[in-house]
A = this chain, B = another copy of it.
Amino acid sequence: MAARDFDALPRMPANHVPLTPTLFTERSAAAFPDRVAVIHGAQRFTWREHRDRCVRLASALARRGIGRGDTVAVLLPNTPAMVECHTGVPMSGAVLGAINTRLDAETIAYILDHGEAKLVIVDRELAPLLGAALALCTVRPPVIEVDDPEAPFPHTLGGEDYEALLASGDADFAWPLPADEWDAIALNYTSGTTGRPKGVVYHHRGAHLSAIGDILACQMAGPPTYLWTLPMFHCNGWCFPWVVAALSGTHVCLRAVRGPAMWEAIAAHRVTHMCGAPIVLATLLDMPGRPALAAPLRFMVAGAPPPEAVLAKAAEAGVQVVHIYGLTECYGPAVVNEWKPEDDALDGPARAALMARQGQRYVTLEALDVFGPGDTPVPADGTTMGEVVMRGNMVAKGYLKDLPATAKAFSGGWFRTGDLGVKHPDGSMQVRDRAKDIIISGGENISSIEVEDALYRHPAVAVAAVIAVPDDKWGEVPCAFVELRPDADATEAELLDFVRGRLARFKVPKRVVFGEVPKTSTGKLQKAKLREAARG
């Protein structure tokens, strides 16, 4: 029997190696030792130097007894140390826990305790925040301080200097490959809008394949010059630390995302790729007197669909926009709006409507669907809503120390995203709402995103957020929170009149509240806070 003979050839060290993104850096250092890997202010590290710093970090951690399954927490902006931690920490076998630097001390304390941090690496600007968190938590991790010359207001907790830690490590350290590609590589906490944040565990295989998926989805060929505007503490920067390593490109670090600093970096280093929420793209394009692009620039946008006005400005500026979609549980983006060249001929509104779709699964996400009741796929009619579900190698291991939540979210062979969407006749998926954001009014579902889209079409509207508020008659009704553009003006009546022409009557908000809408660090609208405000 041939089948038996085929099966008689087992995995061997020569032909089966755990997939891991750590080897990307080794390869880049071997192939392009003198190419610049990391730029930060006046600092430059070649791939050889960067690789040596990563391996020294791994070696220093190992010498301190930190290894497989230990969490190394980091509280860092987008600096060279943060890039190094993405390869150096996993090279030691440990798990990188990159913490959102905009969280409060109490939440950070919870995360340090929950992940059992064995060591914390902190930027000195953030030392006071870490100090406050350490005062609240149970674990007592040693602190390593990064003394970034670009950091404003550096403080110290008296911890060891990061450079001294690296100097104590050995660049010839024979760092261990993961015993199994299913081993944890990173721990990323969800925003925890409802209850405590959950610790999403990434593995080496998924991190490798997600980086590959990003490269294919964003049609990246050759070495990119990548500007770090997306925080690396969000889903490990959507895996782009590993994307840049796989392509032997150049990281351009940036501590703070502001228009002039972005344009300065773009011009100085001929930046080719960036990632971020639509708000970051808008900030980039809205800068008065911005220079012309010297090289083609591709911007990967996620978190919300890019509005028509932003797309128009991007086209005018020569910025290519790729709309991608994902969640913490799938290593950041795992779905891409596969743009067809023939759709370039569409007019602005039609382009924006098409670009608003989330699109198709990544090559490295093996299945994507939208399920109605009883896990039946919804028809591809562009209107029937269901829950977006995913299956594949870009879906995380699960939630740390929360097997019930893992079992629930990963049940029946699918990861349940909690996002509600539709399938269009062309096969693309579009998110209509988060399950918890949907408004149920008189038994009808209202997509908050659809109402927001209608508001966004008004030229005076800069930001729109629509939530459900209780209503005695209808159960729930939509309520809109609107930020107007700096030089624009509009009344509630004007806006309501405007959207009445564009929405079914029951979808028109009952009220418009003007003022600043609270946002997360990635520019996501914080509807939970609006709901609190509406309750008060």
Q: Which residues of A contact B (CB under 8 A)?
A: 1-9, 11-17, 19, 23-24, 27, 30-33, 35, 68-71, 95, 115-116, 182-184, 201, 206, 212, 215-216, 219-222, 246-248, 338, 340, 359-361, 363, 366-367, 390-393, 395-401, 403, 406, 410-415, 426-428
| Cβ B340 vs Cβ A32 within 8 A | yes
How far is the CB of A334 from the nearest CB of chain B, in Å?
12
Select one of B7, B17, B215, B367 contacting A69, CB under 8 A.
Answer: B7
How far is the CB of A280 from the nearest CB of chain B, in Å?
23
Pick the 9 closest A-B CB pairs, nearest first: A3-B69, A221-B221, A13-B413, A15-B395, A9-B398, A9-B397, A219-B221, A6-B184, A17-B366
Q: How many copies does the complex hold?
A: 2
Q: Given A95-B6, A397-B9, answer yes or no on A1-B69 (Cβ-Cβ < 8 Å).
A: yes
Q: Given A69-B1, A246-B363, answer yes or no on A19-B393 (Cβ-Cβ < 8 Å).
A: yes
Interface centre among A4, A30, A183 (most CB of B within 10 A): A30
| B-side contacts of A115, CB under 8 Å | 2
How far is the CB of A225 from the nearest CB of chain B, in Å?
13
| B-side contacts of A367, CB under 8 Å | 17
| Cβ A17 vs Cβ B221 within 8 A | no
Q: How far is the CA of A374 from the CA of B190 in the complex (A)?
A: 51
Interface centre among A69, A338, A366 (most CB of B within 10 A): A366
| Cβ B413 vs Cβ A31 within 8 A | no
| Cβ B410 vs Cβ A14 within 8 A | yes
Interface centre among A1, A24, A398 (most CB of B within 10 A): A398
| Cβ B15 vs Cβ A363 within 8 A | no
Q: How far is the CA of A417 from the CA of B497 in the complex (A)?
A: 74
How far is the CB of A361 from the nearest CB of chain B, in Å?
6
| Cβ A338 vs Cβ B219 within 8 A | no
Q: How far is the CA of A396 from the CA of B14 in the complex (A)?
A: 9
